[in-house]
Structure 1
Amino acid sequence: MCASLVFAAVMGASVYVLIGQPVMAPGWLRDRIETRAGEALGAASLRFDALDLVVEDSTKPRVRMTNVQVLNDAGVEIVGFSEMRIGLSLADLVQGAFRPTEIGITGVFAKLRREIDGSVILSGGLDLGAPSQQADTFAKLIEGIDDLVSIPGLSALTQADVQALTLEVEDVRSARAWTVDGGRMRLTREGDMLRVTSDLALLSGGQGVATLEASYESSVGASAATFGVLVNDVDAGDIAVLAPAFEWLDVVRAPISGAVRGVFGVDGTLAPINVALNIGEGVIQPTDATRPVPFRSARSYFSYDPEGTVLLFDELSVDSAWITAQIDGQAVLGIDARGGLDDLVGQFRASSLRANPDDLYPEPIEMEAAQMDFRLRLDPFRLDIGEALFQDEGQDLIARGALLADPGGWSYEVDAQMAGMAPERLLELWPDRYAPKARKWVLDNLLEGQMRDLALALRDTPDSEVVAYTSFAYEDAKVRYLKTLPPVEKARGSASLLDGRFVVSVDQGHVTAPQGGRIDVSGSSFIIPDVRAREGVPAVVRLATDGTVTAGLSLLDLPPLNVMERAGLSPSIADGRIAAEGTLAFAMKKGLTPKDVQYDASGTARDVLSTALIEGRRVAADRLQVVASQSGVAVSGPGTLDGVPFDVTWAQPLGQGPQPSTVRGSIELSERTIDAFDLGLPAGLVTGRGSGDIEIALPAGEGVPSFVLSTNLRGVRLSSPPLGWSKPAATPASLSLSGALGEAPRVDRLVLDAPGLQAEGSITATPGVGLERASFSSVRVGNWMNGPVELVGQGRGAPPAVVVRGGTLDLREADFGGSGSGTGGQQGGGPLSLTLDRLQITDTIALDGMSGQFNMSGGLDGTFTARVNGGTPIRGQVLPQGGRSAIRITSSDAGGVAASARILKQARGGTLDLTLLPVGAAGFDGTLSVKETRIQDAPAIAALLNALSVVGLIEQMGGSGIHFQDVSASFRLTPSTMTLTQASATGPSMGLSMDGVYDVAGGQLNMQGVISPLFLINGIGSIFTRRGEGLIGFNYTLRGPAADPRVQVNPLSALTPGLFREIFRTPPPDLPQVEGETPAPVVPEAFAPADPGPSDAERRRQERQQRIDER
């Protein structure tokens, strides 16, 4: 006790003496301080080089140590200081107690290391790698201060300062390290309240220096505490490593200033912390390979609940050229097994949003509000947007997607949908440089309407180009697909853009054509195959149209197509409706010309009617196929031309200027064809129905269409009753026509080759009248007619007049007036003007130079003149009878006729009346009447007279000839024989009767008869005999060649009166049967001969009788 008092008195006196003067402490004091420090530090010990004692005033002595070391029990340095100042209580010191009240440390070197598991190690001394203090968490490490100040030796400590702190900080988890230089720390204690503050300068390898201020306050021995941290210009990455709640800042490269406030509860658990961050200009860049996203500034106010691992953002605002927004929301932290951040799942809301990423827009895009659900992963970086909802002009834009930081750079995928949008807004949201060709098309061509069901999909990776898909539907719109063509009105459809291919489809809509009304274009589309192409981007319009033919053609006539103008046709060339599909291909450039547009279209036209395609003709069709391209237009299918069915193809080439067009195909050949073309051919000439191949050439501009037609005439029956000719429908024939159509059609060349009829000629018609003239240079009918023929129109409904100007006609084969080979054709015909080189009547009789005028209304009926076999002239009359022609021939030179006909070459003079009535198919029954004729030097008669030795008659025949007052005959002519049933010749000198057969083909006679000399007297008995025979007569026969017959006379027959003369001769020959023979023909009344009056002999006899009576 006394020693203590002595020590106190000595110390007190010493302090008084040493006030204001630093004095090196004596050795015993050094030992005493080391001992007391060791007692205070427990297992540790204190070492130092020098010890000075300073008493600044009478109550505050201080101890200053240099090169201070705190060693563990192994003698290893725990921590060292360059200088340490200890403030002591004078009262304690006087009493011999060493209890510091203040401690000041300068020049501290330490290392703080956080392991992967989150535990922290504090190291100091010469070996900073050797741990001197370790705790599970940084908070636990701070709690060690309580243990330190609870040491009895430090019970009087009220303040401790650390100056010139150099601290190496290493975070193993993030592989980051920092150096704190010139740091300061202060610990103060007021009663049980302990407060720690610090301010540090943080060196992390950057150009700037960041500062950090921290505070910690708690009751000594208690777990409850409050803390706060203020940072200024600290790199975001340095903050991100503090705790999982800050790890999301690891993608930010910018300085951050801010504050963190938090509380530890009484149980030592961390209560929610509050954070305020002001982020300076910087970028978002998860990796060095990713392109930085710049921003000017950002601000965040949030709190973190460690228990729920929830971040609650009261504000997260960003000011950037890319995006400016004020956001609030929350996020839940996913903590991995190491205590690090695995992911961040949250929901954000933005009350305003302005965006212009990468300067996509001239001005930032503003949206009213936004919210999104997201998940953020940092290693590797991936931001998944589960759903983002943006409110824009009353519409909701819903999006989802992901943003990834791949080794090569950014990758992203975005899917977005929107219910509706105005076209103007779409263009505002559509960046100029994203598919600019498609955007320009929408700008220029989507003129009105509303958009709905918008969709967007984007995919991008560092190794590939952007894959983009955009689509939207539109309605009540006006869409233009080519600037020179009318837009689609009331349009409803959709548009899409995928991998550079832009397609606009029209589900419903119409265009209004310059003529013809509306065209339904539902089903059409516009396509840009590759919007990434450069100048002259090709575009395709796929058209599906349904409208009037006029409307469709007027649309094709607009620039740059000018189809109808180039064809020289009017769009109103036809009426009807057409449904077509086609493609237009052109380059998207100004000043398109027809050659710049490639098109190909096909369709079906219905109910087509045209009176302009073929001038003056009505073309109609129920259904036609239409094909069009830049090289031409083709229309094909069945229809009618003026009511005549056809199946043709109309081809209109397109080129520079109007081009002629052609019609090729088949057309019906029937009676209505003749009527339709107003050819005026005889009724009944054409019946049945066939077809022909036709080609019509339609000139460009003014001109008359020309045509060529050919056919085999199968199914067509041709019949000409006046010619007695017909062609059955099943029989083939050849007919070719060429000519011109129009108001007055004509056939320039007609060639017909049919069984029994060949003709070649031309036909002209008169509008409204019908046939004008059909001229045939050659007409061959069977074997009986060959010559030129003209048919001359007589007016509508009237049979044409027939003009024959030469050639030959054979009545042996003719069937005039008949029904055409017995087929029942109609009767009727017009006038016939006939001029023939030759009219063959029999094998030996022909009429040359025949000229006549006939009427064919009921067959051949008329009169004619001719020369028999080119010799004696005759007059004739022809009448129809039995399907053939009956003929009457008269002449004033009967002898000449007989001679020319090679019947009696030696006959002279007289009158002739010959009637030929047709029998069957090729025969004639004839009657002959000759008056007042003479016969000279007739070999047959001369031989007969010579046989009778009638010298006077022989001499008479050799002189002036034997005179016959009356000659008559009845006979039948066939192509091979003449059968004489009765013939007589009477005159003053003799009478002659004859019957028999003359073989025309062989020139053989087989005749018999009676010759009666002196018939003037002998004829008195003719009342008992045949005509031409007298009471006394000689039977004779003529057989053999007609030029030199064998004559036989029976002289005994002269002794037999004429009544019994038949016993010396055979009966007259029977008429040969003729094919098709009917009952005996009746002589037409017109052929009845006029009463010729009495002959000269009869007149003389009457005169003699009159004189006798008078006497």
Structure 2
Amino acid sequence: MAFSLCLLLLGYAIGRDVAAPRWLRDEVASIASEALGEGRITFGGLSVHMQRDLHPVVTISDATVFDGADRRIAHLPAVNLHLSPRGLVLRRELLVQRITSAAAEVDLTRNADGALAIDFGMVPQANGLNYTEFASVFQQFDEIFEAPIFEALREVDIAGVVLRYTDLRGERSLTLDGGTLRMVLDAQNTRLTADAAVLSGRDYATRLALTYQSPRHSPAAVAQMRVTDAAAADLGQEIPGLGVLSLLDAKLSGELQIEMGESGAMTAMSAQLNVPGGALLPDVGPPGARFDNLDLALSYDPAAQRVALQHMQVSAPWISYTARGTTYLQDFQAGLPQQIVSQLEMDDITVSPPGFYDEPAQLAAAAADFRVTLDPLRIEIAGLSLRDESGGLLQADGTVAISPDGWSLMVDAQMDRLPTERLVGLWPQSMRAAPHRWMAANLSGGEAVSPHLSLRKLDDGPFTWALSTGFRALDIRGLPQLPPPAVDRG
């Protein structure tokens, strides 16, 4: 009887919108509740329109979707369900072929423990789905689309998407505005493409483009993301392998590829990023922490918590270099690392602090082992080895720490030997200028033996340094009228 009434209604609705009767509203509400598992949907109205090609469209107005915890997940002013004529005629069932909407508001929250606050009860966490990953959201909707009413579903097109994302871990929020989403489903895969502008309260907007592909009935997926003018800190606070970016006040552009396994957890990530200028904690960081450009190419292995840095190129007012190495992430809290242990090899090093040298100082190569604690920032240099172009080897260790009161520095460095002319050349002209002028005018030949340099600074206090060294085979010009004495050792 109900099916016959449905056909009569569709016949009357050819070429026009017809308000659905109460019995059809109840039928759609019942089917939708079954599809949403522990979730539910409310709506204000329901109308039926039969297109001239005899494809019926059911329009649900003022629709709001809630998850199993009764959290509002989405609101759509109007959503169109394009039904299968064959499903109605041959199987006497409502089968949705396509879903379209011209606008949607979505709310998504990440709890303080890192879990995404959305759960329709479709995929129990006991089954191993990792709810800290965005893949868990896609997987839950993939399971919703397994409901009988969506058996014939092939496309979902939504425009005008506004997504409000709140991350309680860092008490921050983002808004994705003007987004478009297209999902194509077949028997084997779910493919999704999306793009949106990202607003984060800064004076610029980020552009995000995403492609996502996953086998049906599986959380495994591959996602590719292109970001333009993204805040480095936003990426660092969402992707563990990029955690160190949370220290930067900078915007970046680049491409990322993320692979998820059967648990929905990330199994691999690779990124190529360009940061066209910025600073390390500009409010309290050292003045030399600004940079002009940073290029990164890296890959992340979550199982080993290891980042392989294939290429890094840094250009800054004080220094420029290229680097490669390995980083290990440690002490995870709410899905993000709190400590980073790195081993880097650097070359093509140019040191040119403003006002220090007439010509930039060139250094051959360096290697560094260090540990970074992110909050509060503390960099512990366990070992820095630097090969000077003269052949001398510098070894250093120390600590750099940043607090609300300023930045502190404690570094000690020593070399095995350094030609006297090279020592004078590396001595910054603006620091202790009088001794530098005397050494430049009166010392020649020989070499410095075991020079030792100490650098100190405490919070907002002054920067201090001390240099001590021995000499070998040194010529000293004391008085102009006397020949320079030769110092074999001293």
TM over 0.5: yes
CA deviations 1:146-205 (Å, max 9, x no partner) are 221111211211122332222222222222222222222222212120123322211111
Secondary structure of the residue that 1:121 maps to in structure 2?
Answer: coil
> Letter of the aligned partner of 1:23 in structure 2?
D
Is 1:245 the counterpart of 2:245? The answer is no
* CA contact 2:444–2:475 (8 Å) conserved in 1: yes
What are the within-5 Å matches in structure 2 for residues 609-688 of structure 1? Answer: none
2:17 aligned with 1:23, yes or no?
Answer: yes
* Distance change >3 Å, CA 230–CA 76, structure 1 → 2: closer
CA distance in 2, matches of 1:117, 1:46: 28
Classify 1:358/1:386 alpha carbon distance in 2 versus 1 (closer, same or farther; 3 Å).
farther
SS in 2 for 1:272: strand
Partner of 1:445: 442
Structure showing greater Rg: 1
Q: Secondary structure at the match of 1:425?
A: helix
Which consecutive unaligned segments of at least 5 residues does structure 1 have?
125-133, 494-506, 508-1111
Q: What is aligned with 1:486?
A: 483
1:145 aligns with 2:134: no
Task: Check 1:230–1:481 CA distance in 2 against 1; reply closer, same or farther (3 A cut).
Answer: same
Q: Which residue of 1 aligns with 2:399?
A: 402
Separation in 2 of the partners of 1:370 and 1:454? Answer: 18
The equivalent of 2:180 in structure 1 is: 184
**1:348 and 1:214 mapped to 2: Cα distance?**
32
The SS at the match of 2:266 is coil
What amino acid maps onto 2:312 in structure 1? L
Q: Could you tell me how far 1:30 is from its partner in structure 2? A: 3.9
Q: Distance in 1 between matches of 2:72 and 2:404?
A: 46
Which amino acid letter does the alignment assign opposite residue 149 of structure 2? Answer: G
CA distance in structure 2 between the partners assigned to 1:337 and 1:5 by the alignment: 55
Indicate yes or no: 2:48 matched with 1:48.
Answer: no
Partner Cα separation in structure 1 for residue 413 and residue 112 of structure 2: 41
Which residue of the partner structure matches residue 76 of structure 2? 81
Alignment pair present for 1:159 and 2:170: no
Measure, in 1, the Cα distance between the counterparts of 2:202 and 2:219: 37
Shift of 1:292: 6.5
CA contact under 8 A between 2:154 and 2:185: conserved in structure 1? yes
Q: Secondary structure at the match of 2:243?
A: helix
Work out whether residues 284 and 403 of structure 2, in 8 Å CA contact, stay in contact via their aligned partners in 1. no
Assess if the C-alpha contact under 8 Å between 2:418 and 2:448 holds in 1: yes
Amino acid in structure 2 at the alignment position of 1:84? V
CA distance in 2, matches of 1:137, 1:90: 38
The one-letter code of the counterpart of 1:141 is V
The 1:350–1:110 alpha-carbon spacing in structure 2 relative to 1, beyond 3 Å, is same
Of 332, 341, 344, which aligns to 1:345? 341
The offset of 1:109, in angstroms, is: 2.4
Alpha-carbon distance in 2 for matches of 1:69, 1:200 = 22
Distance in 1 separating the partners of 2:327 and 2:201? 32
Q: What CA distance in whole angstroms lies between the structure 2 residues aligned with 1:110 and 1:267?
A: 25
Report how far residue 432 of structure 1 moved: 0.8
Task: Find the aligned partners of 1:406 and 1:4 in 2 and give their Cα distance.
Answer: 71
CA distance in 1, matches of 2:70, 2:237: 35
Q: 2:85 aligns with which of 72, 86, 90?
A: 90
Deviation at 1:70, TM superposition (A): 3.4
Separation in 2 of the partners of 1:109 and 1:264?
A: 27
Alignment partner of 1:315 is 2:311: yes
Distance 2:112 2:282 in 1: 21
Residue 115 (structure 2) pairs with residue 115 (structure 1)? no
Distance (whole Å) between structure 1 residues aligned to residue 209 and residue 131 of structure 2: 22
Q: Look up the equivalent residue of 2:188 and give its one-letter code.
A: D
Aligned residues with identical type, % of pairs: 27
1:422 offset after TM fit, Å? 2.2
The answer to whether the aligner puts 1:105 opposite 2:67 as a matched pair is no
- Residue 115 of structure 1 aligns with an amino acid whose one-letter code is N
Q: Aligned with 2:447: secondary structure?
A: strand
1:380 corresponds in structure 2 to 376
1:367 pairs with 2:363: yes
Normalized against structure 2, the TM-score is what? 0.89
Letter in structure 1 aligned against 2:246: D
Name which of 24, 31, 37 aligns with 1:36: 31
Highest RCO, 1 vs 2 (Cα 8 Å, sep ≥ 6) = 2
Call closer, same or farther: CA 1:348–1:90 in 2, change over 3 Å.
Answer: same
* CA distance in 1 between partners of 2:210 and 2:24 (Å): 37
The question of 1:65 aligning with 2:68 is answered no
Question: 1:102, 1:167 → 2: CA distance?
Answer: 22
Would the alpha carbon gap of residues 351 and 78 (structure 1) be closer, same or farther in structure 2, given more than 3 Å must change? closer
Residues 22 and 52 in structure 1, CA contact (< 8 A), matched pair in contact too: no
Query: The residue matched to 1:141 in structure 2 has which SS?
Result: helix
Correspondence 1:449-848 to 2 at 5 A: 449-489=446-486, 491-493=487-489, 507=490
Q: Take 1:283 and 1:274, find their aligned partners in 2: how far apart are those partners?
A: 23
| 1:650-687 per-position Cα deviation (integer Å, ceiling 9, x unaligned) | xxxxxxxxxxxxxxxxxxxxxxxxxxxxxxxxxxxxxx
2:288, 2:61 → 1: CA distance?
Answer: 51
Give the AA of the match of 1:216.
Y
Residues 402 and 439 of structure 1, relative CA distance in 2, 3 Å threshold: same
CA offsets, 1:958-994, max 9 Å, x none? xxxxxxxxxxxxxxxxxxxxxxxxxxxxxxxxxxxxx
- Pair 173,365 (structure 1): closer, same or farther in 2 beyond 3 Å: same
Map Cα deviations across residues 877-908 of structure 1 (whole Å, 9 max, x no partner): xxxxxxxxxxxxxxxxxxxxxxxxxxxxxxxx
Distance 1:60 1:292, change over 3 A: farther
Shift of 1:310: 0.7
Counterpart mapping for 1:293-308 below 5 A: 293-308=289-304
Equivalent pair of 1:298/1:316 in contact (CA under 8 Å): yes
Distance 2:20 2:168 in 1: 47
The CA deviation at 1:269 is: 4.4
**Cα distance, 1:267 vs structure 2:** 4.9
Give the secondary-structure state (helix, strand or coil) at the position aligned to 1:147. Answer: helix
What secondary structure is seen at the aligned counterpart in 2 of 1:271? strand
Give the residue type in structure 2 aligned to 1:65.
I
What is the alpha-carbon distance in structure 1 between the residues aligned to residue 185 and residue 247 of structure 2? 41
SS in structure 2 at match of 1:474: strand
Residue 47 (structure 1) shift: 3.6
Alignment of 1:661-1060 (within 5 A): none
Matched, 1:230 2:214: no
CA contact (8 A) 1:289 1:407 kept: no
Whether the 8 Å CA contact 1:244–1:335 is kept in 2: the answer is: no
> Are residues 1:175 and 2:171 paired?
yes
Q: Following the alignment from structure 2 to structure 1, what is the Cα–Cα distance between the partners of residues 202 and 169?
A: 20
* Secondary structure of residue in 2 paired with 1:97: coil
What is the deviation of 1:399? 1.9
Q: Deviations for 1:276-322, whole angstroms, at most 9, x for unmatched residues?
A: 11112211226546546221111111111111111110011112222
**Number of equivalent positions:** 478
Name the CA shift for 1:25/1:385 in 2 (closer, same or farther; >3 Å): same
The 1-side partners of 2:266 and 2:191 are apart by 18
3-state secondary structure, aligned to 1:384: strand
Which amino acid letter does the alignment assign opposite residue 171 of structure 2? A
Aligned to 1:975: none
Read off the aligned partner of 2:192 and give its amino acid letter.
V
Amino acid at match of 1:49: G
Counterpart among 423, 426, 435 of residue 426 in structure 1 = 423
Q: Distance in 2 between matches of 1:303 and 1:289?
A: 28
Deviations 1:1-54 (A, max 9, x none): xx6885686477557xx2xx3422442544443343334334555443343444
Report the CA distance between 1:253 and its aligned residue: 0.9
